[in-house]
Amino acid sequence: MHAEPTKHRLHALCPYFAMFPHTFVRDQILSHTFPGDIVLDPFSGRGTAVLESLLLGRQAIGIDINPVAACVTGAKAHTPDVCVILSRLHNLEDGFKTTDIQQLREEGDALPSFFRHAFHRTTLHQILFLRRHLDWKHDEVDCFICALALGSLHGEMDKSPSYFSNQMPRTISTKPDYSVRYWQTHHLVAPERNAFAILRERAKFRLKDGRPSLKGVAVLGDARNASGLLANFRGRVKAVVTSPPYLDITNYEEDQWLRLWFLGNAPWPTYSQISRDDRHTTSDSYWRFLAEAWQGVAPLLGTAATIVCRIGAKKAQVGALGRNLSATILSAFPKAFLWNEPRVSLFARRQTDSFRPGSKGCGFEVDFVFRTGYHTARGS
């Protein structure tokens, strides 16, 4: 066992549902890779594997089809200097002060009524300005600021002044009608927040531990297309450390709809408009999707690579989960084998229970470690 490391503040850049802990990632990276090796997470989520790999001196690649995940992973893969971030925020705030406020008012008034309950009017205008001007897909500084904004966009206003919204969970966006009913029932009104001031303080706090000396790669895309998206890395990846979306657990387009709106999506929950598949609909479609994902990743892996996979589901048994996962791995890596006994852990109580009492998640998660082939000497 490795000593318990200090958690870097960048890990908590944006709260995220169903992520694995940095200690799990750290142990796996130290066990299966050497400094300089390439680590890939094809379902990068909030970028835990990418950031921890960079902190440990590994090269890191993250892929995710969810724009929220791609933005947050990108912010950790290529983190700017704090002075550059603060300068950009200063310029943005100056721009907001001189912008046509009437246009922002009209834009805010055209949104569904949820937004007028969710945010103070002035705060909403700031959010709309940031949404319009942050080019997160093409600019590293804007990507980092956008990730900070996603982390503050909604949360428990009674516990922290760092959230822009009325009372909401910090990990997921509750549905519009439910949220409005909740606020009206509890007589909750959105507080006035200065988004620019919050983002400045969040930037300084998150970068108090510094930033990784290495830069990684973050890609917005489908894991099934990984070999094409990352053609320069074919045959070079030493380890995959990942946690695919869990069967029957969550749909990110529904649960992160408000963050997706901030990144340019519709101002209401959408379903399968981004992923354009039915992987959450049936068990068969889920396992077919996962097999296709491994096949997309396979050309990137080198000889005798390691695949570390944490997976869970509400209805499946541990044995069935292992058999199905093994079948998907073997479809892409015919010589793959289990490296050690799977480890089962209980799924912690979810934050959404306080907003939706009685909501159910999966009862367990299972960690699998596969080798894609037999050992060869390092460097051979």
Q: Does some domain include residue 272?
A: no
The domain that contains 41 carries what CATH number? 3.40.50.150
For residues 48 and 42, the answer to whether their CB atoms sit within 8 Å is: no
Please check whether residues 301 and 330 belong to one and the same domain: yes
Instruction: Name the residue among 229, 309, 259 with its Cα closest to residue 64.
Output: 229
Please check whether residues 154 and 43 belong to one and the same domain: no
State the pLDDT at residue 142: 98
What distance in Å separates the CA atoms of residue 214 and residue 55, rounded to the nearest whole number?
Answer: 8
State the pLDDT at residue 250: 65
State the pLDDT at residue 278: 66
Q: Indicate the residue among 148, 171, 206 that finishes a domain.
A: 206
State the pLDDT at residue 345: 76
For residues 88 and 298, the answer to whether their CB atoms sit within 8 Å is: no
Please check whether residues 101 and 133 belong to one and the same domain: yes
State the pLDDT at residue 294: 98
Residue range of the domain that includes 318: 9-66+216-249+280-371
Query: What domain count does the chain have?
Result: 2
Task: Please count the CA atoms within 13 angstroms of the CA of 30 that sit on its side-chain side.
Answer: 14
Instruction: Look at the block and give the residue holding tokens 């933005």.
Output: 71
Please check whether residues 113 and 143 belong to one and the same domain: yes
Q: Indicate the residue among 206, 240, 265 that finishes a domain.
A: 206
Q: Does some domain include residue 72?
A: no
Tokens of residue 256, six digits: 């992160």
Q: Does some domain include residue 220?
A: yes
What distance in Å separates the CA atoms of residue 287 and residue 280, rounded to the nearest whole number?
Answer: 10
Question: What residues in the chain have per-residue pLDDT under 70?
Answer: 1-5, 18, 248-250, 277-281, 314-316, 346-363, 374-380
For the stretch 319-334, pLDDT in tens is 788 899 999 999 999 9
Q: Does some domain include residue 377?
A: no
Handedness of CA 230, 234, 238, 244 (dihedral sign): positive
Please check whether residues 305 and 330 belong to one and the same domain: yes
What distance in Å separates the CA atoms of residue 321 and residue 313, rounded to the nearest whole number?
Answer: 8
Q: Which helix (H) or strand (E) holds 64?
A: strand 59-64
Please check whether residues 181 and 304 belong to one and the same domain: no
